[in-house]
């Protein structure tokens, strides 16, 4: 009876259900091909499908990456003062409400007694006791390193171990002495002053080829790039006349076959500059200094195993009610009063604040229920 009622209620949703199934199962290439014929336009959209997983945009399931990155998007935004300004704003808002913040403070252990957390132990040995602990640290680190396994069901531990968290993207930070000048850009035709955010991927095949190289443990000979110039909109980020160009690109697998990133990093940079020079001639001559960040660096810098910018792949088996793992996709955990609120949870990475907001909602629900 219940099933019939459900079917009746959603009898007109057939079209939406098909759309959702398409978005979840199709390749980004086929998905975009439903609307566009032009390769340039297709590649522009398919670029979004390169963020989140470890397969190219011709693979089934990649349409979802594209859709998830474009939901609600009205353009690219830059934060005045750099991304750190967002953290500063959140901190200021919390402090105004009495929140205390400790930076550079390493949590060694989440304390648990009788199945319930009662605080954390810092590397210094100090214990901070609390009625609730909320972790935005990657799910693997939170539960495999910080919580004693005796407090966790075996099945949960296995699921967390299976959470795929290897990154494939690199970030390249450049200080330059002039703005990149793109051959293909026309102020007149676009009505835009300057493309402070761009996608460099001329064809769908170009994107797929970049993943093809990485499939076998190597990096792309011709990486796709998204150069953005935050100093164009925020001059405080660079000295007068100079600029900061930040590239995200791919593909750089976490692990290399018969080599390592210390050895190969300089070649990745040369490959990226060669692509950039094709589309913005003279770019490499304008570079004063640069820094490459690979998944290994991300792992080391912020204690994020695998260095995936989304904490973990956004594949069908790691999204919605299965993120980070089945049965614990509601921001709770097997330990009472220990919550998860980071990119490892639904809906995944990006500076969206959505996982945090959802977690807060669930924590408040439990709080009210107990009160």
Choose, by CB under 6 A, the member of 134, 303, 316, 322 that binds ligand FAD.
Answer: 303
Choose, by CB under 6 A, the member of 137, 160, 200, 237 that binds ligand FAD.
Answer: 137
Cβ 334 to ligand FAD, closest distance in Å? Answer: 19
Cβ 51 to ligand FAD, closest distance in Å? Answer: 8
Binding flag, residue 57, ligand FAD (CB under 6 A): no
The residue (of 117 and 309) whose beta carbon lies closer to ligand FAD is: 309
Contact 141, 370 (CB under 8 A): no
The residue (of 271 and 345) whose beta carbon lies closer to ligand FAD is: 345
**355-370 b/e with 16+ CB inside 10 Å = b?**
bbebbeeebeeeeeee
Binding flag, residue 46, ligand FAD (CB under 6 A): no
Binding flag, residue 358, ligand FAD (CB under 6 A): no
Contact 231, 201 (CB under 8 A): no
The residue (of 141 and 199) whose beta carbon lies closer to ligand FAD is: 141
The residue (of 42 and 141) whose beta carbon lies closer to ligand FAD is: 141
Interacting residues with ligand FAD between 261 and 300 (CB under 6 A): 293, 298
Q: Which stretch binds ligand FAD (CB under 6 A): 67-75, 264-272, 320-328, 348-356?
A: 348-356
Binding flag, residue 106, ligand FAD (CB under 6 A): yes
Q: Note the residue count of the chain.
A: 371
Q: Order of strands across the sheet with 107-113?
A: 107-113, 116-122, 127-129
Choose, by CB under 6 A, the member of 302, 321, 357, 361 that binds ligand FAD.
Answer: 302
Binding flag, residue 304, ligand FAD (CB under 6 A): yes
Site string for ligand FAD, 170-199 (x = CB under 6 A): -x----------------------------
Q: What is the rounded (10 degree) CA torsion for 78, 84, 86, 88?
A: -150
Binding flag, residue 342, ligand FAD (CB under 6 A): yes
Q: Measured in whole angstroms, how far is the alpha carbon of residue 113 from the centre of its chain? A: 34
Choose, by CB under 6 A, the member of 176, 280, 343, 359 that binds ligand FAD.
Answer: 343
Q: Are strands 338-340 and 127-129 parallel, antiparallel or unpaired?
A: unpaired
Q: Measured in whole angstroms, how far is the alpha carbon of residue 157 from the centre of its chain? A: 23
């Amino acid at each position: 009876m219940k099933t019939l009622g459900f079917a009746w209620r959603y009898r007109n949703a057939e079209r939406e259900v098909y759309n959702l199934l398409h978005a979840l199962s199709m390749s980004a290439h086929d998905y975009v091909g439903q609307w566009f014929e032009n390769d340039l336009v297709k590649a522009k959209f398919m670029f979004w499908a390169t963020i989140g997983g470890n397969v190219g945009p011709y693979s089934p399931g990649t349409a979802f990456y594209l859709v998830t990155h474009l939901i609600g998007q009205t353009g690219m935004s830059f934060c005045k003062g750099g991304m750190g300004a967002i953290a500063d704003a959140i901190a200021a808002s919390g402090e105004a409400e009495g929140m205390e913040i400790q930076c550079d403070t390493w949590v060694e252990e989440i304390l648990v007694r009788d199945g319930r957390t009662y605080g954390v132990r810092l590397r210094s040995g100090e214990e901070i006791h609390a009625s609730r602990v909320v972790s935005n640290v990657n799910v693997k680190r939170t539960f495999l390193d910080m919580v004693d396994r005796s407090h966790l069901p075996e099945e949960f531990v296995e699921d967390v171990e299976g959470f795929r968290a290897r990154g494939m993207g690199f970030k390249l930070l450049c200080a330059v002495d002039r703005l990149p000048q793109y051959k293909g850009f026309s102020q007149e035709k676009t009505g835009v002053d300057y493309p402070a955010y761009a996608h460099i991927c001329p064809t769908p095949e170009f994107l797929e080829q970049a993943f093809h190289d990485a499939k076998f443990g190597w990096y792309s000979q011709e990486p796709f790039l998204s150069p953005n110039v935050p100093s164009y909109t925020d001059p405080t980020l660079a000295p007068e006349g100079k600029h900061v160009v930040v590239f995200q690109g791919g593909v750089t697998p976490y692990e290399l076959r018969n080599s390592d990133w210390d050895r190969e990093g300089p070649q990745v940079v040369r490959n990226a500059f060669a692509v950039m020079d094709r589309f913005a001639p003279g770019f490499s001559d304008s570079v004063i200094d640069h820094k490459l960040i690979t998944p290994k660096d991300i792992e080391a810098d912020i204690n994020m195993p695998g260095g995936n910018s989304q904490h973990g792949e956004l594949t069908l088996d790691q999204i919605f009610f299965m993120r980070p793992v089945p049965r614990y996709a509601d921001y709770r955990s097997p330990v009472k009063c220990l919550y998860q609120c980071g990119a490892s949870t639904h809906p995944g990475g990006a500076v969206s604040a959505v996982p945090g907001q959802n977690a807060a909602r669930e924590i408040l629900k439990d709080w009210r229920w107990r009160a």
